[in-house]
Structure 1
Amino acid sequence: MLIRKPKEMAWEEAAGIPETWITATQALFLIGQLKANETVLFHAGASGVSIAGIQLAKAHGAKAIYVTASSSEKIDFCVRELGATAGFNYKTQDWSAEVLKATDGKGVNLIVDFIGASYFQGNLNAASLDGRVVCLAVMGGTTLPAGVDISAFLRKRVRFEGSTLRSRDEGYQKQLRDQLVEHACPRFSNGSFKIFVDRVLPFEQIVEAHKLMESNQTKGKIICVIP
């Protein structure tokens, strides 16, 4: 499971790699089966997994990369710093309708979701023909609201799959680790893949770190240093 730290990276940067980049690799390639020239949508665009995923998808030749986020600042970060195609503010916009507009009604091939129930209908609406939705978390709940229309599973042949990483066996995790080392580590070394660290705090301030995370104001990783 070990990965050698690229000598070009500080320890604080290297601490931002696992499990973030491994989770993004799993969602995009092992489960989502992203192909070059396909389109992808990341919810929570400024989160650690999405920041990694945007860079991985771009390097893989994705045709367009969309994000949702809670502020224009986070959307600008995803577009200008990471190279996302466009972003939508879920607080002020109907993001699924905006995705359809941006794709000329076709929808996106792959959606990486952390929200769950409250985004379930929107994900089905925004998915393309033969689209895939990979659900990694359920921050928006687990119980679907009344009136959810699941016809997209038949009409568009949408595939919905959930996954966690820690419950996977060692062989599966090794496969992900090897894929990350082969494809991402050289790009960490030459600087084409970047670890975005929002804040570095001493471990004694772990409570403050959690409060900062819960504020939903960060972009990237919060790293705690143990002396």
Structure 2
Amino acid sequence: MRAITIPEPGGPEVLTWAEVPDPEPGPGEVIVDVRASAVNRADLLQRQGHYPPPPGASAYPGLECSGVISATGPGVSGWQVGDVVCALLAGGGYAERVAVPAGQLLPVPMNVDPVDAAALPEVAATVWSNLVGLAHLGMGETLLVHGGGSGIGTFAIQLGVALGATVVVTARSAKHERLRELGAAHTIDYTSEDFVEEIKNITDGRGADVILDIMGGAYLGRNVAALATGGRLLVIGLQGGRKGELDLGALLNKRGSIFATALRSRPVEEKAAIVRGVREEVWPLVESGAIGPIIDRKMPMALAAEAHRIVGSNDHLGKVLLTVD
């Protein structure tokens, strides 16, 4: 088969569409013939040499895919050759075929194109496990989403609205109109506005009940300042650095909580539990039309380097998909 390989760390130009050995299904695994994968920020970090795949995972980038099951390994039940699926991966999505633990498979939701379904598994699992599994976001609460125009952000807006929350996002002003169409009640231009001041104004001084953060260290202090009493800060990315200053007194006074989570490195059993939750609680919302895949563009897999440049520029809105003919 062919796959996108990373012969050495570097810029987008190091990504190489090359012939590689076909994967074989291990116990509890299936082989998926890939129709599409999606570009995630983690893929860019892996390409740069900063985010290696977990032990035992494919060396090729790609944290999600859609396609058709072409083979099953020992011990697989509930799935068969010919099933059209999408999947959460620890790696390997940038390829014509990938081995997937059966517990990380999802049926393609009704009314979603099988190619477009590649935009769903990673964001759905990340957002649901944080907003619902950890933060228990509730009706009437205020959710602040940083990076509202990203794949994570566009999905979080939709899930937050479906859960009855008031969603506020930070994003470049050029993306605001589309984010309001997705359900964001308020938009903040992080390039020219102070999100702490803005969230206070929006909530009459109370702050955000839940903050979903992709920035990490650079936003840590301001995120705590933006929390409401009893607020929950969910750190899922480090685009603003690994380290920041934390005022524990401010956190104590607000009886606040900080969660820092990663999905890729979790054991297979934990990922399977998250995928089950997504299938039970999120897929009905997708099939009803309350949530949908937000896709900026689709490109041939061989053009992965250009797709990485687009995602690295932050000019996209939603997901960039890589397709296999």
Fold match by TM threshold 0.5 = yes
Distance 1:193 1:153 in 2: 33
Q: 1:88 aligns with which of 169, 188, 198?
A: 188
1:104 maps to 2:204 = yes
- Does the residue aligned with 1:217 lie in a helix, a strand or coil? coil
- Code of the residue aligned with 2:175 in structure 1: it is K
Deviation at 1:78, TM superposition (A): 1.2
Q: 1:206 aligns with which of 304, 312, 316?
A: 304
Q: In the alignment, which residue of structure 2 is the partner of 1:72?
A: 173
Distance 1:213 1:36 in 2: 33
- Code of the residue aligned with 2:168 in structure 1: it is Y
Distance 1:190 1:35 in 2: 20
Q: In the alignment, which residue of structure 1 is the partner of 2:37?
A: none
Whether the 8 Å CA contact 2:162–2:290 is kept in 1: the answer is: no
- Does the residue aligned with 1:151 lie in a helix, a strand or coil? helix
Deviation at 1:192, TM superposition (A): 2.2
Deviation at 1:7, TM superposition (A): 4.1
Gaps of 5+ in 1: none
Superposition pairs for residues 142-221 of structure 1, below 5 Å? 142-144=242-244, 149-221=247-319
Q: More helix per residue: 1 or 2?
A: 1
Distance 1:154 1:192 in 2: 37
| Bigger shift: residues 51-60 or 198-207 | 51-60
Whether the 8 Å CA contact 1:43–1:50 is kept in 2: the answer is: yes
Scaled by the length of structure 1, the TM-score of the pair is: 0.93
Taking a change above 3 Å as real, the CA distance of residues 58 and 7 of structure 1, as seen in their structure-2 partners, is closer
Q: 1:48 aligns with which of 151, 168, 181?
A: 151
Distance 2:269 2:140 in 1: 30
- Does the residue aligned with 2:248 lie in a helix, a strand or coil? coil
Whether the 8 Å CA contact 1:200–1:225 is kept in 2: the answer is: yes
Distance 1:224 1:61 in 2: 33
- Code of the residue aligned with 1:177 in structure 2: it is V
1:123 maps to 2:223 = yes
Q: In the alignment, which residue of structure 1 is the partner of 2:125?
A: 22
- Code of the residue aligned with 1:211 in structure 2: it is R
- Code of the residue aligned with 1:167 in structure 2: it is S
- Code of the residue aligned with 2:128 in structure 1: it is T
Distance 1:17 1:68 in 2: 22
Q: More strand per residue: 1 or 2?
A: 2
Q: Which structure: larger Rg?
A: 2
- Does the residue aligned with 1:160 lie in a helix, a strand or coil? strand
Give the number of aligned pairs.
222
1:106-132 superposed Cα distances (whole Å, 9 cap, x missing partner): 001100000011111110110000111
RMSD in angstroms over aligned alpha carbons? Answer: 1.3
| Bigger shift: residues 6-15 or 48-57 | 6-15
Whether the 8 Å CA contact 1:12–1:200 is kept in 2: the answer is: no
Distance 1:99 1:153 in 2: 17
- Code of the residue aligned with 1:67 in structure 2: it is V
- Does the residue aligned with 1:138 lie in a helix, a strand or coil? coil
Distance 2:288 2:132 in 1: 23
- Code of the residue aligned with 1:66 in structure 2: it is V
Deviation at 1:151, TM superposition (A): 2.0
